[in-house]
A and B are shown apart, each in its own frame.
Chain A
Amino acid sequence: MIYIATFYSHFGAIRFKKKCIADGLSASVMPVPRSLSSSCGTCVTFTVSDEYYLDENINEEIEQIVCVEENKYRQIYQASDS
């Protein structure tokens, strides 16, 4: 399944991408899709074979994570104070 994570900063996105790759996931950075946010920052799209396991100690730089489904995004995580 394909996921997209958005971040509060470019730094957070690059760091998350590095972690994904270290974990053996396919990941790349790209501009945040307009339909996902009015922010013009950097997001990470990554592929996981099964449902994404959400680490409770999730990177504090992550603003939200969505699962890419046909013609829509399904939100699976939203930072509590964003």
Chain B
Amino acid sequence: MIKSLPVLFSIFMFAASVSGQKAYFRNIRLPDELQQTSITCLYQSDNSNMWIGTGKGLYKFDGNDFVFFHGTQKQATLQVSALYKTSDQILWIGTRNGEIYQLEGDSLRLFNPEEGNPKVAITGFASDKSGNLWFSTYGEGVYYYDGKHIYNVNTDDGLTDNYCYTVIADEQGRIWAATDGGISVCNLVNSKKNIRKITSIEGLPDNIVLSLKLVGTEIWAGMQDAGICKVDIRTFKISVPKASEKWQNGPVTDIVAGNNWMWVSTERYGIIGIESSSGNINGNYTSYDGLNISRISHMYADKQGNYWIAAGSQLLLSLGYDLIQYISPEKPNGDNIHSLLINREGTIWYSNDDGLFSTDKQSRQKNEIKLPIDKRTHVISLYEDDRGYIWAGTFGSGLYCIDPKSKRIKLFSEPDGLSNGNILSISGKGNQLWLATLGGAYFCNMAGDPFAEGSKHVFINYGEKQFPGNNYIYSVFIDSRDRVWFGTDGNGITMLGKGRFTSFDKAQGLKSNVVYSIAEDSDGHIWFSTANAGIYRYDGKSLKNFSLENGLSDLHITGLLADKRHHLLIVHNNGVDIMDTRTNAFLYLSKGVGISALNPDLNVCTIEGNETAWLGTQNGLIRLQIPDDILTRQPSLQLSRVSVFLSKENYIGTHVFSYNQNHISFHFNAFWFIEPELVRYQIRLKGYDIDWIDTRNTLVTYSNLSPGDYTFEVRASVKGNFTLNDVKTFRFTIEKPFWKSTWFIMASIVVILLLVYLIIFTREKRLKQRDAIEHEKIAVKFQTLRSQVNPHFLFNSFSTLITIIDEDKEVAIEYVEKLSLFFRNILEYREDDLIPLSEELKLIETYFYLQKKRYSENLRLDIVVNEEALSSLIPPMVLQMLIENAIKHNVISAEKPLAVSIFTDEKFITISNKLQRKKDKEPSTGIGITNIRDRYALLGFGDIQIVSSCGQFTVKLPLIHFEK
């Protein structure tokens, strides 16, 4: 039966309060010494440290700690007024007194050009297309530096005014300067200054321009009294947004722009929010959470989607209007949203404890749709069909169809076949309408206008048969291929396709049979969430589970949303995880951006257009711009320092360390300003660690590393899903100590071998020498003995003796005594190497006596020897042999007597005789002279000299002295 259609659509109008929009700010606690100081500028050169310029010096902030930049005593108090990093990685620091400093690495130095520094405050830096560095000053116009010289541009050159507040570069590399007299667009054409003025004559609302911001192809200018305006950088056309008409918010100090919104900071009235498309003001923040943020000097958009706000001595972080919480003015302490829908006209439909409402986007009027239901019965599901009708499912009181145009409503309940009135989810396509209830699923063919007279629509139930055991259905979803998916309470997920119901449950490997939410991504994959086992992806063939270890931050998932840009939004109790479905990278939005303890109802979320997600929570509505740069919005990991024995020196460029530089520390940091405390690290030293080691520290030290090749690896993650994030590596080698190196060992072996060889060689040589001496000695002994037993000598001696015996018996006895003395001496001395000269002289005296008896006066021996020479040494029998030689080889007769003379000088003993050779030579043994020479050579005390000239035969023997 058709129920009557009373017009129960009553409208309550509320002027939507602007203050209902609430952005979130996080207050960053500054170091104590900065509590009373204003922050003057913020700058982030790459996706890492935030540089903070203050009246009390320069600070570097890594998300956790502030590092003060020490300079000299004078630099310690530098009043920073502008910051900029050029492509050569030099950070330029402008100060209030006109000095400019350069920070390269950790060293701060004064920029000291030949032209001198300005005498007034530096207010901004920018680089033009030729690489010149421009800087603006408060009083001396702008300057540019070409790497060699500094050049000035001021009013004499056509600058609008010498008092400049900032400079920025546009996309063509022209420099825009904000001055007290308007905007000057400067560029250099063939080194000639070219300035275009944009002033009130050109239509600028106010000539005093305090701030500039490039947004797309427009430059927005913040002015002293006239709010903001934009200048097209190609046509120089000036447009003034509605917000600037009747501007009452004083000087504009800075501008940041987001997706269809702008924030304008002011000197007295905090932040003014502006909707870019309409140009209307849509927010104002002068205080936040008890903080006074009415005086804002500077704002800065970092590379991770954060907006930094310098409000006096306070530093705040925000996502701006990319994340807005709608607080209803009448319910400031919580507004539990039970269902949510943005219809095709952009009207927000939602229900809370008080009923069902719609808020028009343009007029911001809030209407209440009064349904004839109990006050405690809530609308818990909403759906817009192709006709534009809104379908509202209640918890226990059936389904209502609402025509927003005619303001009629119609109830569908038991009489229409809808036997269960608890409608948790509504979906549809064309004329199909599907409901998920606590009594199974319902289908209705909606062909024919439900409001038409006499129309009849019957709901068909799919219950126990299709969903056996438990027919609670939490959600219904129709995918792009017209398959209908049901999330059930105990049957997993059920798909209706081609008239057949197919279930995926524990039998197919599902860890949970309770499925809450379903979504389809841009690749046509079906995603669904389970009660406690994370989410699943169905790609048409298989199921893949994603849980905490894959990067989910919370398993209490209350909603899934997919946009058409490969993003899956996973809504849970404590925020939203945004997943890039191509790379499985995550962006987590939770406490750090002000969304926590959301406790949303099931599936109270929706996507508007393609970039905006709406969430209904227990604290009202949240609107979120889905970022398209999730892959860059990741902790930015840097391995900044490598130190040895914790010294100050940075070894990041060194890759080879000596054996005693084996105490190595690595300093790293992942910049993640949203929630730096969530960053976790994993480190591994390949060649030392077997597996990754989890740590929260940003410093790790390895001590006592043994020589070898190593690779240090570090990776960072917000939620422990490390595999997705890039790894920073540092390869290095610790060298072996030199005594363990191959070359040293080789060289040592060679040296040792050489030494051994040398020892053996010299020993061998010495032995040979000794042998030679021995041999020689034996030869001498033999020779001497032989010479002494020379039969001639004996024969001669005995002949002599015979004649003497007859003549004089006494003499004969003496002769025999001398002969025996001579032989005894020979026996005595033959063992010795050397004997004193005196002994040798005694020997030759005996010998001479014996010969004298034979040759009488025909043989003469003259000995002249120094006293000192007597103690010197001489090989035994040498003189005797030489005298014997002389007697042997020469004629001795009365006519030709032979005189042998022996005399010494300092070094030599000389034996000399007149040469008168015998005609018949006595056979020479050839040993005599050679033997003497060899003995001297072996003894090593110098050589003998033999001279045979002028009829004289002379032998000089070196005298041997031993040191005392």
Q: Do A and B share a complex?
A: no
Chain B residues in the interface with A (C-beta under 8 A)? none
Chain A residues in the interface with B (C-beta under 8 A)? none
